[in-house]
Chain A
């Protein structure tokens, strides 16, 4: 089944403890992206990747890192999480990063930073 898989789905952590949210897609998509969703602010893009080894900042990249070493994986790294990074995170992928591309989203990862 074609899908975007995120792990963990739920996580409670403490300020400053590094964590990684993984994202994997099995559709051989070139494009991948991370979003955070907060009440009243919609979905905001954190980082995106047009292809392997190519990443770019979205609208809210501060406090996050990403890497794209393989086509299928696009992990989101929080080096020193803070409470304002408590949010619902979504990973998405698309065949290519073009204006007509359909985005496929994962089920989301709910992160709480205490």
Chain B
């Protein structure tokens, strides 16, 4: 299975944009890139996913490199409530049932 690599931690100031990187150099052509986040004492929650094109939703934007070997989750204006662990995972068509989350990136937002 293709794996992802994320920095262990990042810091941001409140109301500033945050760019959370994810490397997935062994990604296959059918792998979808998903992002989840886990707030303290809660289960993970879906943020966004994409295949090739950049994606936007009410929570965030996902920028996918042209070669698809990396992606970036963009929070346009970080709030204190965005402090969480962010996971980047790959889900492919043949093995869509399987999913493994790495350690993710712990985002700290400073007031």
**Interface bits A92-114 vs B (CB < 8 Å: 1, else 0):** 10000111111111111000000
Total contacts A-B at CB 8 Å: 66
**Interface bits A41-62 vs B (CB < 8 Å: 1, else 0):** 1111100101000001011000
Please give me the residue from chain A that is nearest to B50 by CB atom. Answer: A100
**Interface bits A12-46 vs B (CB < 8 Å: 1, else 0):** 00000000000000000001010100001111110
Pick the contact of A45 from B31, B87, B92, B98 — CB < 8 Å?
B98
Interface size class of B (residues with CB under 8 A): 20 to 34
Please give me the residue from chain B that is nearest to A100 by CB atom. Answer: B32
Cβ contact within 8 Å between B31 and A99: yes
Cβ contact within 8 Å between B103 and A40: yes
Nearest CB in chain A: distance from B92 CB, A = 6
Please tell me if B111 contacts chain A, counting CB pairs below 8 Å. Answer: no
* Whole-angstrom CA separation of A35 from B93 in the bound complex: 20
**Interface bits B78-111 vs A (CB < 8 Å: 1, else 0):** 0000000001000111001111111110000000
Considering residues A98, A101, A104, which has the most beta carbons from chain B within 10 angstroms of its beta carbon?
A101
Cβ contact within 8 Å between B97 and A97: yes
- With an 8 Å Cβ cutoff, the count of chain A residues facing the other chain is 29
Pick the contact of B100 from A4, A43, A106 — CB < 8 Å?
A43
* Whole-angstrom CA separation of A99 from B103 in the bound complex: 21
**In the complex with contacts A35-B101, A43-B87, A43-B101, A108-B43 CB distance below 8 A:** yes
Given contacts A98-B93, A99-B96, 18 further A-B contacts (CB under 8 A): A4-B43, A33-B97, A33-B99, A42-B101, A42-B103, A42-B104, A44-B101, A45-B99, A50-B97, A58-B98, A97-B97, A99-B32, A102-B46, A102-B49, A103-B36, A103-B44, A105-B45, A106-B43
- Mark B residues whose CB is within 8 Å of A: 30-32, 36, 42-46, 49, 87, 91-93, 96-104
User: Can you give 17 A-B contacts (C-beta < 8 A)?
Assistant: A31-B97, A42-B87, A42-B100, A42-B101, A42-B103, A43-B100, A45-B100, A58-B98, A59-B100, A99-B91, A101-B91, A102-B49, A103-B44, A103-B46, A105-B44, A107-B42, A108-B42
